[in-house]
Structure 1
């Protein structure tokens, strides 16, 4: 057996030679442990940075969404206020035009002057009303923006012709505010098949073999009924309403009493040529009144068997509204009670 020769001692009992471990960390294994620790710290710091970045991104995104919502709400509110001003100007101008026409001015110049003065008063009123909200309004309209028309009224049978048929307005380009108010007790009792020979009706005739008829009668259920036809064709019932002391048939507004009546206006059957004549037929089968504002195809007034007086048919107004955040300008045509088509 070979003898093991111990190495030289360094005086503290230790011996030189290879060591089984690097417990002091000075050898290759210690360096590797330091490197592993550095990687762990780096991964931890990187994860923390990513987490903080994500939190910051979420905060920024939420702030952006909030700012956009606030800005959008501000725009919508400003737009809504501008539309409110527009609606008020149109409604009040329409009421002014109709009020002027009902007062029966002596001529068209007097009617236009009254409307022009009224628009100036409306401008002052709206300016005061919206000044408290920080808005500046201006409404203007003058004689050059207005169309002459005729305001026609009268009892159905008080037409001076001596017969049951009468011309409400001849040679008309447009009609608005056309209302026939009838006493149901005086209407013919019939149905859609018998109405063409029995019932009161309004006829629109463009003079080229194109007509529209609107019949008003009491149906078998005692309801006031409205039926329409064209060129003498079979009638179509469009609406009915319970009888009352007086039932208004709004031909241009499309209502019977308080109910909507789709298909009542003449253009529901297609375009009617212009100019056209409006006549009341078989008025001995209805008591009531008729009211309409007509735009003549030529001249200043329409020919009528009823009471036709000078009127303003339409006006155009210039509207401006400004706030710190909004500038709104528009031109609006005002013709109250005119049908959509």
Structure 2
């Protein structure tokens, strides 16, 4: 009988341990499931909660459409960085006030405000002239500390170019210089050698030479001459890393047009007061907002939602 009792007690203990283990496992699964559900907007609890969560989604969607749709017109209508920011602030504040008055009817309080903006700058010379800056300086900094450069195109004529390749060695011919974060420099020089001659010196080493006719269409970011011949652009140069500083050297020894777009504000004060550029003429700056970070807050009787939404220009097209 003693042996029977012992085996019975052992089985009881095993059953108890298994039951406790199962209970712990179920508890952990429940906690994990609740945590996952809590982190989602779409929580399947009650019809009221679903309605409130749909309200959050609709409010944020409306905000993103409104702000995204407002940025492009503002970029077309205003020249200065500060004006763009203040106009966007005013637009979002107006939208927020109108939306708040509508939401209050349902017992919901909402607010939206601009936290910060991301600028972009288009630098353009669309009148054929020397590539000097607005003050006539032939050696000048076009854009400094930019992480993204796109659409860098230039049309250059044989007229006014220095003759012969000696200018590459003595540094007297027109050059586009791009300096990387580590101080390495990519260089594209242009001179006259019975046509427009393009000489590229990547920061990674070596050199490349290309010949065009009496004019050349250069795509500096894509690395093409007249849409066909390909050279190593500074974006492809393994010896160069962002951020970049773009400079012109001997810009009075070339004539033509150019444009490029960079991913930041490049003038601290007023563009109109900057010696290098203006808001009209050539060269000029076309300032723009590429995206805005907007703080939104949505509070209903049973729900509080706050977040920062990054909204790009044109998001109303979705």
Higher strand share: 2
User: Which TM-score band applies after superposition, normalised by the shorter structure?
Assistant: 0.3 to 0.5
TM-score computed with the length of structure 1 as normaliser: 0.45
Structure having greater relative contact order (Cα 8 Å, sep ≥ 6): 2
| TM-score, normalised relative to structure 2 | 0.47
